Structure 1
Amino acid sequence: MIWDVSCSKRQRPKVNIAFVSHSAFHPAMVVGSHQLARVWAKLGHRVIHVSLPLTPFHLSRIGRPHMKQRFDSAWGGATEREPNLIEWVPLAAVPWDVAKYLSAPLGHNFSVPLAKRIRAVLSRFGFSSIDVALIDEPRMVGVEPVLQARKTVYRATDLYAQYRGDPSILDAERKILASADGIFATSDPVARHLRDLSGGREVDVFRNGFDADHFRERRDEDPSLAGIDGPRAVYVGAIDHRLDLDGVVGMALRRPDLNVLMYGPTTISLPADSPSNLRWMGPITYDRLPAVLQHCDVAMLPLVDNEENHGRSPMKYFEYRSSNIPIAAFAAESLAPLSSSDSLFLYQQAGASGLGEAVDAALAFRRDPQGFSTTNLDDDMSWQQIASRMLTRIESLHL
């Protein structure tokens, strides 16, 4: 398919898109690649979503959050999740942590599925060619020449090397960037990183967005909130090393009247002596999120102050706003473009004091009879709008 850039959006031809991503589909973890893939599939484009492969080494982690479902998906092979949307959780010989030591001397990334296997899956689902490949997982370096897409875009969503403490990822990014037709980032810090890494090439910033219809539809209170009085402060997301755990615990201790609800999969040790008003709620499915958020009083983004958090583009900001609740958030650089929002209360220094002050300010705002309404707010940040702008930009890329 050769695009005619002069085509109107209504006349845009249908294309074959390969999304090479880090995260497989899961009810409790919906990331940007999932949202974009679904939007494009609903528009009639054909999309195959390929996530990071599993290997025999991963069997030792089968008890971790989401891992069993990933293995179930891998054993089942590539499947059509929805009309026009194929999901594939592939298998490979070894994980990146092993393959990275072999790739330089042997010239091959053994953590990527065999080229023959990739081509067989594409052929099985009728992908005779790939028009667009979007790669947001640098550890899949080496997949580009196999896909042979007409246009390849590297879409970085994090400062991956810092996030994983793995400098070898920088070399993987350089290799992908060298052959990429376009470079996308989800935040300004990530864009700066990619410009430096690519020798000053142009980088387009497409921040993460939200599913407007999903979060604006009014819901009855989720059963998990039964018996928990207000006011309620809520966090939804990964409970890992990026979360300011000490700050959350300290804030809860200072505000015994506030129920602090922490939803999400946990990969770190939680304090055994958490205050009674701090509740670890466990993972929650994406479908249930609005029924939780709409019945809380303040939402939190309590991040630690480190480089990787400054580069994150949290989807939760827009999901919180569209649920009509004010936000108390650490002032990560990626939130700076949003700092003029009247419902966002930023604190500059991570810790219990700053978080507590921001939560208090958000609660006062919540009680203000003038309040705020997010009806039709942030429409340009819906995934539908972002997906449209992204395809328009890809169409304009010169081969």
Structure 2
Amino acid sequence: NDYGKLGRAGEAIAHSLVSSSAAGRVAYVEPFAPAPGEAQLGARNDRGLLVFSGCGTPPTGQHEVARGVVQVAELNNPVLLNFGVSEVNWWLHYEFAPVCSRTVLVAYDKLAEWDMMAPRKPVLEQVRAQLLASSDTVVGLSEGSIDDVPDASYVGHGVDRHWHDPAIDSLPEPADLAAIPRPRAVYVGALSMRFDVEAVRDLADSGLDVVLVGMAPHPALVELAERHPRIHLIGERPPEQAAAYLLHSDVGIVPHTDEPFTYSMEPHKAYNYAAAGLPTVTLNTAHAPALGPFLNATRDRKEFVDGVRTALAGGRLSPDQVAQARSLSWNRVAEAILRAA
């Protein structure tokens, strides 16, 4: 229920399918949001993508929601791309599978391994098992999300669409960034969970200025930024604005806490870092195979700080490397999913 707000992979792939000659018409369906009263389902057109959003308790039994989406979107021989392994994904499968020619489970994590979900772990493990067994095809945006699924296909991630804009490299340095000394280590993304505050402290203590662009910082991080002159909390920026912060920094960082859940995902932001010309150093993440030498995945805080220092010494990516990173488009991922389906 957050279309257009978080830059989810499903949105990017849906828009890529809209522009694909192989996909025909595309509908993007959000889960129903809780609300009193009779269930309602609405649709809006966003750049050719029909986005369906519902509220209330959806009807069950006759697949009215799925049939309504297919009718309004004028879908012929529809294929279900079901993004995720949560309980709502089981409802989406139940609702849409009977009206679709094929079902494709698109995994990007193992939700049951997240510490926050510990009370619901047995349920989430069962849901994932049911989805894997019931879907015709399984693809993974990360290797860790499908490492126990022998017949699944890995497709990876893509860079955000604004990196294909020829004018992207002319973005000026943001005013609130200009006063921060270089070299700069930059992080763009959520700051509330799975973020290693101590790793950022260690990096700043080493003499490097750290720029954090993102939403909902953890209270411990806010307190640290208030006390440490080399840690700079910028606040949330839309993806197209965040690009300027990447272009005018020197190394990208992804400092996560050590959790099995994190290793089941792929660090999507590292694709955008590379598209901006930044070498990237991560802590406690899986490696993204397509990024190759652009990314150094470390396993402890000392290795992380040393890795950032080494990346800075090597400098920004070359023009050829930036072009290679920007070629890793969501269109490429969408085409891989269609081939697998």
| TM-score, normalised with respect to structure 2 | 0.84
Number of the residue aligned with 2:137: 182
Q: Distance in 1 between matches of 2:153 and 2:296?
A: 27
Q: Distance in 2 between matches of 1:34 and 1:223?
A: 30
- Deviation of 1:211 after TM superposition, in Å, equals 3.5
Do the aligned partners of residues 215 and 363 (structure 1) sit closer, same or farther apart at CA in structure 2, a change above 3 Å counting? farther
Moved more, 259-268 or 230-239: 259-268
Identity between Structure 1 and Structure 2 (%): 21
Do the aligned partners of residues 157 and 278 (structure 1) sit closer, same or farther apart at CA in structure 2, a change above 3 Å counting? same
Question: Structure 2: which amino acid aligns with 1:324?
Answer: G
Is 2:334 the partner of 1:387? yes
Q: 2:46 aligns with which of 64, 77, 81?
A: 81
Q: Distance in 1 between matches of 2:184 and 2:130?
A: 47
Number of the residue aligned with 1:151: 102
Is 2:127 the partner of 1:172? yes
User: What is the CA deviation profile of residues 150-169 of structure 1, one whole-angstrom value per residue up to 9, with x for unaligned ones?
Assistant: 01011111111112333211
Runs of at least 4 residues off by over 4 Å: 110-114
- Deviation of 1:36 after TM superposition, in Å, equals 0.6
Q: 3-state DSSP class of the match of 2:80? A: strand
Do the aligned partners of residues 207 and 111 (structure 1) sit closer, same or farther apart at CA in structure 2, a change above 3 Å counting? farther
Q: 3-state DSSP class of the match of 1:249? A: helix
Moved more, 357-366 or 134-143: 134-143
Number of the residue aligned with 1:290: 243
Q: 2:26, 2:73 within 8 Å by CA — same for their partners in 1?
A: no
Q: 1:39, 1:383 within 8 Å by CA — same for their partners in 2?
A: yes
- Deviation of 1:76 after TM superposition, in Å, equals 8.8
Do the aligned partners of residues 121 and 392 (structure 1) sit closer, same or farther apart at CA in structure 2, a change above 3 Å counting? closer
Number of the residue aligned with 2:303: 354
Q: 2:73 aligns with which of 125, 133, 137?
A: 125
Q: 1:136 aligns with which of 64, 83, 92?
A: 83
Question: Structure 2: which amino acid aligns with 1:228?
Answer: I
Q: 3-state DSSP class of the match of 2:146? A: helix
- Deviation of 1:303 after TM superposition, in Å, equals 1.3
- Deviation of 1:323 after TM superposition, in Å, equals 0.6
Number of the residue aligned with 2:192: 240
Q: Distance in 2 between matches of 1:172 and 1:81?
A: 31
Q: 1:248, 1:355 within 8 Å by CA — same for their partners in 2?
A: no
Q: Distance in 1 between matches of 2:298 and 2:176?
A: 29
The total of aligned residue pairs comes to: 322
Number of the residue aligned with 1:326: 279
Q: 1:49, 1:86 within 8 Å by CA — same for their partners in 2?
A: yes
Q: 1:24, 1:52 within 8 Å by CA — same for their partners in 2?
A: no
Number of the residue aligned with 2:220: 270
Question: Structure 1: which amino acid aligns with 2:182?
Answer: G
Is 2:148 the partner of 1:203? no
Q: 1:252, 1:278 within 8 Å by CA — same for their partners in 2?
A: yes
- Deviation of 1:304 after TM superposition, in Å, equals 1.4
**For the aligned residues, what is the CA RMSD?**
2.8
Number of the residue aligned with 2:63: 115
Question: Structure 2: which amino acid aligns with 1:245?
Answer: V
User: What is the CA deviation profile of residues 122-170 of structure 1, one whole-angstrom value per residue up to 9, with x for unaligned ones?
Assistant: 423333x552101123322133243221010111111111123332111
Q: 1:53, 1:112 within 8 Å by CA — same for their partners in 2?
A: no
